C-alpha cells in the first residue's frame, strides 16, 4: 500500500467465480473451460417459444442456428486470447452443455392484418394497448400448453417499433407504461419468464456483435430456463445475509403518486433473490433522496431475517449487510437494528454509483485497474473501481473513462472497510444477464432497481408479484 497525502491506494484481489467443477475470474473463460452450473449436471435443452411477425421469427430461427456452432469474434484471426473468447456454440458437444429447442408449434406469428390494425390507431396509446393485448393473448395461450415452454421470446416487429418508439434506441414508453415491463408482468402472471428482442438485435452483422449477442442472450435464456444461475461466487460466507434497498414511485388507492420501498435479499443458500413486501412510509431529504421511517426500517429488517430463517431451517443469520443508495438516517439505523436484533453483526453501507467526482490518472495508456481502491481513512470514505483495465484478461471492456463508485460505511458498521469493499467487488460479478467480466454496481443495487422498474408499472400488485429475478430481467 502506498500513501499519497491523505489518500491510501491499494488493489483488491479479483474474486473467482465457480462453474461446473472449476473456478476462474472470467465468466467467458470459466464457461468455456468448465461449463455452466446445471441442474443435476445434465444437458440443458432450453425450450423456447416465440411471438413475432413472420420475418422476426425467421430471423430468430437463423440466430439460434448460428448459435449451434462456434462463433469467433474475429473471422480473420480464430486464436483464443484472454480478451477475445469465442462463443463455443450450443450443442451436445459444447462445454456449455446446452442447446435450443424451438418447435414449430410454439412459433406464434403476428399476422400482417394484425399489424395493420395496430398501426391504424390514431394515438400511440391505442397502438400500444392493442399490441400489448396481442402479446398478452399469445402468452396466455402458450401458458395453457402442456408442457409449457421454458422461456417466451417476444420479437417486436419493425413496423410496430417504428410506430411506438421515439428515436432509434431506448425503451418503448407510452402513456407512462413501459412495454418491456408490461410484457415482463404478463409472463410473470403466467409463470413463464420472457425475453424481449428488438429488431436491431436480430440484425447482426459483424462477427464481434454475433459472438457478444450469442454469449449474452444465451446466458439470459439459460438462467431463465433452469430457474438457476450459471455460476456463483466462492466468496459468500455462510451465515451472512446481503440485502439491497430500492425506492420507486407507486400510486396509492386514491391515485396519488407516492414513494415505496422494497428490500431484496441475497442469501447464501443457492443465492436466492427475495423481495420484501413494499412500504410506503417514505420521506425525502433536502437532496430528494428517499428514506424509510424507523418503523418501516424495522419491518424491512424483520422481513429480511424471516426470509433467511425460512430458507435456512430456522437458523438466524450471523451477519446482515444492507446496501443503500442514500445515507442512513438515525431512525433508519435504529429501525434496522431493532428489526434484526437477533443478528449479531450489522453492516450498513451507503453506495453512490454515479457522480462521485473522483478520477485516478495512472501512467501509461490504460485506465485504472479494476479493483483499485482509493481510501480517505480520516473520513471513512472509499472509492472503488469496479470497472477498469483487467490484467487477468488484458483488456478494458468499457468505452468511456471508468469512474469509481463511492462507498461510505455507516457509523454503526461492524466490519472493516476492506471487507465491505471486497464483498461489493464480488457482488459485481453475479449479474447472470451478461457475459461481461463484471458490471459497475453490485447486484444488491442493480437487481432491486430493475425489479422496482417493473413493480412500479400500472396494473401490478407489488404484494402479489413473484419474488424471483428471472421474471424481471
SS3 per residue for 180-198: HHHHHHHHHHCCCCEEEEC
What CA–CA distance (Å, rounded) separates 261 from 263? 7
Strands 240-251 and 319-324: parallel
- For 35, residues 6+ apart whose C-beta sits below 8 A from its C-beta are 19, 20, 21, 95, 96, 97
Residue identified by cell 468455456 is 32
Which of 330, 302, 325 minimizes the C-alpha distance to 241?
302
What CA–CA distance (Å, rounded) separates 371 from 392? 12
Can you give the pLDDT at residue 1?
Answer: 42
Residue 75 CA neighbour count, 13 Å, CB half:
5
- Which grid coordinates are listed for 397? 471492456
Instruction: With beta carbons less than 8 A apart as the criterion, state whether 173 and 125 touch.
Output: no
- Which grid coordinates are listed for 25? 475470474
What CA–CA distance (Å, rounded) separates 56 from 197? 9
**In the chain, which stretches have pLDDT less than 50?**
1-4, 255
Largest CA distance in the chain: 70
Residue 139 CA neighbour count, 13 Å, CB half:
26
Is 0.85 topped by the overall pTM?
yes
Can you give the pLDDT at residue 401?
Answer: 85
Strands (E), 309-352: 319-324, 345-352
- For 349, residues 6+ apart whose C-beta sits below 8 A from its C-beta are 321, 322, 323, 324, 407, 408, 409, 410, 413, 420, 424
Look at residue 173 and give its three-state secondary structure. strand
Q: Which CA distances in Å does 423 have to 357, 442, 446?
A: 23, 9, 15
The beta-carbon contacts of 366-372 under 8 Å, at least 24 apart in sequence, are 366/396, 367/396, 367/398, 367/401, 367/402, 368/402, 368/404, 369/11, 370/14, 370/402, 370/437, 370/438, 371/11, 371/12, 371/13, 371/14, 371/425, 372/9, 372/10, 372/11, 372/404
Per the DSSP assignment, residues forming a β-bridge with 369 are 389
Amino acid at each position: 500500500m502506498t500513501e499519497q497525502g491523505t489518500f491510501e491506494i491499494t488493489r483488491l484481489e479479483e474474486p473467482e467465480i465457480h462453474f461446473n467443477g472449476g473456478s476462474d475470474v472470467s465468466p467467458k473463460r470459466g464457461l468455456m473451460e468448465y461449463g455452466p452450473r446445471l441442474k443435476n449436471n445434465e444437458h440443458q435443452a432450453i425450450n423456447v417459444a416465440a411471438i413475432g411477425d413472420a420475418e422476426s421469427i425467421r430471423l430468430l430461427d437463423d440466430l439460434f442456428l448460428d448459435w449451434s456452432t462456434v462463433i469467433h469474434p474475429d473471422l480473420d484471426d480464430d486464436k483464443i486470447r484472454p480478451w477475445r473468447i469465442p462463443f463455443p456454440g450450443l450443442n451436445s458437444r459444447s462445454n456449455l452443455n446446452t442447446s435450443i429447442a424451438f418447435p414449430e408449434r410454439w412459433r406464434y406469428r403476428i399476422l400482417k392484418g394484425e399489424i395493420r390494425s395496430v398501426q391504424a390507431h390514431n394515438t400511440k396509446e391505442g397502438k400500444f394497448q392493442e399490441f400489448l393485448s396481442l402479446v398478452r393473448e399469445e402468452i396466455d395461450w402458450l401458458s395453457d400448453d402442456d408442457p409449457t415452454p421454458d422461456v417466451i421470446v417476444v420479437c417486436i416487429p419493425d413496423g410496430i417499433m417504428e410506430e411506438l418508439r421515439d428515436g432509434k434506441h431506448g425503451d418503448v414508453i407510452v402513456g407512462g407504461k413501459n412495454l418491456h415491463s408490461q410484457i415482463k408482468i404478463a409472463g410473470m402472471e403466467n409463470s413463464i419468464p420472457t425475453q424481449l428482442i428488438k429488431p436491431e438485435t436480430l440484425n447482426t452483422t459483424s462477427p464481434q456483435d454475433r459472438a457478444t449477442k450469442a454469449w449474452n442472450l444465451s446466458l439470459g435464456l439459460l438462467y431463465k430456463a433452469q430457474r438457476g444461475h450459471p455460476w456463483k461466487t466462492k466468496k459468500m460466507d455462510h451465515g451472512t445475509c446481503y440485502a439491497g434497498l430500492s425506492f420507486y414511485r407507486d400510486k396509492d388507492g386514491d391515485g396519488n403518486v407516492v414513494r415505496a420501498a422494497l428490500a431484496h435479499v441475497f442469501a447464501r443458500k443457492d443465492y436466492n433473490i427475495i423481495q420484501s413486501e413494499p412500504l410506503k412510509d417514505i420521506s425525502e431529504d433536502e437532496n430528494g433522496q428517499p428514506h424509510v421511517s424507523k418503523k418501516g426500517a424495522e419491518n424491512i429488517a424483520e422481513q429480511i431475517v424471516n426470509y433467511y430463517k425460512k430458507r435456512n431451517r430456522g437458523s438466524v443469520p450471523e451477519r446482515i449487510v444492507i446496501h443503500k443508495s442514500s445515507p442512513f438516517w438515525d431512525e433508519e439505523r435504529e429501525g434496522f437494528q431493532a428489526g434484526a436484533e437477533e443478528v449479531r453483526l450489522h453492516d450498513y453501507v451507503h453506495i453512490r454509483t454515479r457522480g462521485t467526482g473522483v478520477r485516478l490518472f495512472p501512467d501509461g495508456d490504460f485506465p485504472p485497474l479494476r479493483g483499485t481502491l482509493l481510501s480517505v481513512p480520516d473520513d471513512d470514505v472509499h472509492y472503488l473501481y469496479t470497472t477498469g483495465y483487467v490484467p487477468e484478461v488484458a483488456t478494458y471492456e468499457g468505452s468511456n473513462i471508468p469512474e469509481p463508485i463511492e462507498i461510505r460505511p455507516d457509523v454503526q458498521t461492524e466490519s472493516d472497510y476492506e471487507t465491505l469493499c471486497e464483498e461489493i467487488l464480488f457482488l459485481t460479478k453475479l449479474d447472470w444477464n451478461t457475459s461481461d467480466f463484471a458490471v459497475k454496481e453490485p447486484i444488491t443495487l442493480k437487481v432491486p432497481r430493475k425489479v422496482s422498474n417493473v413493480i412500479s408499472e400500472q396494473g401490478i400488485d407489488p404484494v402479489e408479484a413473484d419474488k424471483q429475478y428471472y421474471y424481471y430481467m
